[in-house]
Amino acid sequence: MNIPIKQEDLELLVQQQVQESLHLDYKRSEALSKAGQKEIPKDVSAFANSDGGVIIYGIEESGHLPVRIDGGIPNSAFTREWIEQTILSNISPRIEGIQIQQISLDMDIW
């Protein structure tokens, strides 16, 4: 699977109803909250302990199918560095090769 890098990539996943799998997981944006800080490393670790994959925060799902892009969160609230630090400080041994891609959303379309 190609890693989504722009809003159109996310929209395509929803339009084509790309189902969650062993290599793809959808999470709502709220999962990136401070309260979800313990879940992020668990999600990443689960993929690392299997065959790897892509976790997409910001897509609502139902029955393992994407429903919609949920609007995301402000980049200033949860930076790429914060997410990376949350992962690195809670997983041992360190997982190499983790990529974090923030995608800006055009909120005018919602």
Six-digit token pair at 19? 């189902």
pLDDT at 109: 44
Q: φ and ψ at 67, to 5 degrees?
A: -100, -50
Mean pLDDT of the 39-55 span: 91
CA 20 to chain centre: 12
Give the length of the chain. 110
pLDDT tens digits for range 53-62: 999 999 999 9
pTM above 0.75, yes or no: yes
